[in-house]
Amino acid sequence: MSGIRNRLGRYGLWRMGRDTDPFFGILAERHGFGSVWYGGVSADLDIPARVLAATDHIIVGSGVVNIFATDPHQVAASFHRLQREYPERFILGIGLGHPERTELARRPIAALEVYLDVLLAGGVPADRIVLAALGPRALAIAAERTGGAHPYLVTPEHTRRARDILGRSPLLIPEQRVVLDDVRTRALEAARPGVEFYLRLRNYRRNLERLGFRTTELDSAAPRVIDALVVSGTNAGVKAGLDVHLHAGADHVLAQVVTPEGEDPAVDVAALAAALDLA
């Protein structure tokens, strides 16, 4: 992973997978981000494929492919297609998705191990896979069997704990919500709806409880919870918020820029790149 680690740099972008237009990936590359990741990627890896075809060098990641909604044999075949066409530019992120949504998730760790077995037997290099690992068991599997971890909806304290479990070598690539607004209260309210959705899902709730948040705080999406999960500001302020993850042990931080529904992200991507001294 050392080659990809160096090419990633410090900062990337994360985008919801329903955005199938490669324009966001083009923006990310144009403004100097090292990677762009897409949530909710299907087994054919169609969204990463479109972005890779439209760009020249940026690394593209899946954040993530849901193991309960996809066939690992098909994912392995899709990976090899991208590797042939765009060598060393794709990282396969896989994860458990939302366990509430499938009966198959009663034994999630066992299911994850089996899915990994198929990918590895199908020739997908271990160091090109990362897990959406939150808890200690999943992080241990990421360290032992893959190239690292891509945690979602986490705090810098989780990043510190994850690095302790992973050890030095595996990649650690957390996602971080970002609102480009110097008015903190307004920024937190802008991010609140997206955070509240995940606070209803038990894997994220358990992780936040491990980090010291109370059940009552998660039920009500208390200000302390939102505050811990959102970076805001412009210029030096937003850079400092992302850099806390790097100081805690992350190799690369993915900013999920929160913008109003339907708003063109180009302005905020350019502003974030300027704040981070990119390009």
Q: What is the dihedral of CA 76, 79, 84, 88, to 10 degrees?
A: -130
**Angstrom distance (rounded) from CA 129 to CA 146:** 5
Over the chain, what is the mean pLDDT? 94
Q: What are the pLDDT digits (tens) for 135-179? A: 999 999 999 999 999 999 999 999 999 999 999 999 999 999 999
Calculate the CA 125 to chain-centre distance: 20
Q: What are the pLDDT digits (tens) for 218-246? A: 999 999 999 999 999 998 999 999 999 99
Report domain 2-275's class: alpha beta
**Angstrom distance (rounded) from CA 58 to CA 64:** 18
Q: Is the pLDDT of residue 105 over 60?
A: no
Would you list the domain boundaries of the chain? Answer: 2-275
**Angstrom distance (rounded) from CA 82 to CA 75:** 11
Q: Is the pLDDT of residue 279 over 80?
A: no
Q: Angle 46-54/72-85 helices, nearest 10 degrees?
A: 10
Q: Is 238 in contact with 180 (CB distance < 8 Å)?
A: yes
Q: Is 268 in contact with 181 (CB distance < 8 Å)?
A: no
